[in-house]
Amino acid sequence: MPAIHRRPRWALAESQSTPEAAFEGRRALLKGLGVVAGAAVLPPSGRAQDGGDAAARTAGLYPASRNAAYTIDRPLTPEEVSSAYNNFYEFGSHKQIARAAQALATHPWDIAIDGLVEKPLTIGFEDLVRKMPLEERLYRHRCVEAWSMTVPWTGFPLSALLAFAKPTSAARYVRFETFNDPGVAGGQKQVWYPWPYVEGVTMEEAANDLAFLVTGAYSKPLAKQFGAPLRLALPWKYGFKSIKSIRRITFTDEQPVSFWEEIAAGEYGFWANVNPEVPHPRWSQAEERVLHTGETVPTQLFNGYGPEVAALYAGREDEALYR
Ligand SMILES: Nc1nc2c(c(=O)[nH]1)N[C@H]1C(S)=C(S)[C@@H](COP(=O)(O)O)O[C@H]1N2
Ligand SMILES: [Mo]
């Protein structure tokens, strides 16, 4: 498969680049966007033709009230940092994709809900978000590349989507799929990647309180580089499970094969639960570099969310739960 010789490029370990280099990269990007430190990060998209993007059309839903059950022991990552250092391979296999991602048109944005459900349907994002109970949660995020951040997401529990979608009792997994539009997302012209990006969880994981569908961040509609208009946040798993810009949600009895698993099953598996004691084949997972501060801190089992999720994995000890 042609991906083999590209491998060092797509999965360059974060630990191979210095915090200084990353910081310089962000600074250069922010300068390019005409953003000054401390100011709002990205200007509203200049492309809001055709009745505007989802963000402008749903701005009135924000801010949502914060759910105090989901707070954290770490400072929030400044918005100008987290929104200028992203993994979104559809727009390039590097972190400075924020500007390119502004080309994504998020209105209209239809989401298909299909597979093992009472009644398959397609719903516009803006209709869906208005039916869902929005709240803000502060979540940690731990990328498999050993960096981390802390973000105030706004969204709704995945369990609320389950109640809306009405899967049948035959459903065992939820499969998520991102848009596929190489004309807009230049990374999707790189045919050695198995587009579209796919992720999946078990029904039990989907029903867990922590599983969250994100529609906003920093008390505003979601910026495009974060995966507008709808992305997942699974804070106890490596970041690649938190799929962006979801177009299709399918209930199935077959374990989905995710994007990264398809590329390198030995490195990125279905479960991908955070565990400092199970190294990635090419680097340690014991510690993580905190975005912005550059501080190195110990990584925690399940990214610190063990009390909420450890029971999901009882009896599955034989499986590759931690990659
Ligand atoms: N569709 C899609 N979703 C994606 C990715 C991607 O490349 N494409 N990258 C993943 C990875 S590796 C991480 S760490 C997070 C990054 O989210 P952020 O850019 O909001 O920090 O998005 C995840 N979701
Ligand atoms: Mo990641």
* pLDDT under 50: residue ranges of the chain: 1-50
DSSP state letters, 204-260? HHHHSTT-EEEEEETTEEPPGGGTSS-EEE-TTB-GGGS--SEEEEEEESSPPPPHH
| Per-residue pLDDT tens digits for 22-78 | 434 444 444 444 343 433 444 444 444 445 799 999 999 999 999 999 998 889 999
pLDDT of residue 188: 98
How remote is the CA of residue 240 from the centroid of ligand 1, in Å? 5
Q: Which of 88, 93, 243, 262 for mutating ligand 1's site (highest number of atoms within 8 Å of CB)?
A: 88
How remote is the CA of residue 14 from the centroid of ligand 2, in Å? 10
HSE-CB for 276 with a 13 A CA cutoff: 12
pLDDT of residue 51: 58
Nearest CA to ligand 1 atom 1: 244
| Per-residue pLDDT tens digits for 157-169 | 999 999 999 999 9
The candidate with the shortest Cα–Cα distance to 227, out of 129, 88, 117, 25, is 88
178 CB less than 6 Å from ligand 1? yes
- Kindly report the pTM of this predicted structure: 0.88
208 CB less than 6 Å from ligand 1? no
Q: Using CB atoms within 10 Å of the CB of residue 60, give its burial: 0 to 12 exposed, 13 to 18 middle, 19+ buried.
A: exposed
Question: What amino acid occupies position 236?
Answer: W
HSE-CB for 70 with a 13 A CA cutoff: 27
* Ligand positioned closest to the Cα atom of 176: 1
Cis peptide upstream of residue 157 (ω within 30 degrees of 0) = no
pLDDT of residue 26: 42
260 CB less than 6 Å from ligand 1? no
Report which ligand 1 atom has the smallest distance to the Cα of 89: 7
268 CB less than 6 Å from ligand 1? no
- In this structure, are residues 166 and 95 in contact, taking their beta carbons and an 8 Å threshold? no
Nearest CA to ligand 1 atom 5: 88
Distance CA 248, CA 180 (A): 11
Beta-carbon neighbours within 5 Å of ion ligand 2? 87, 143, 239-240
Measured over all CA atoms, what is the biggest interatomic distance in the chain, rounded to whole angstroms? 53
Let me know the angle formed at the C-alpha of 244 by 240 and 249, rounded to the nearest 5 degrees.
Answer: 105
242 CB less than 6 Å from ligand 1? yes
Phi-psi region of 319 (alpha: psi -120 to 50; beta: other; left: phi over 0): beta
The candidate with the shortest Cα–Cα distance to 248, out of 153, 123, 117, 92, is 123
User: For the chain, which domains are there?
Assistant: 14-310 (3.90.420.10)
Task: State phi, psi for 111 to the nearest 5 degrees.
Answer: -120, 125
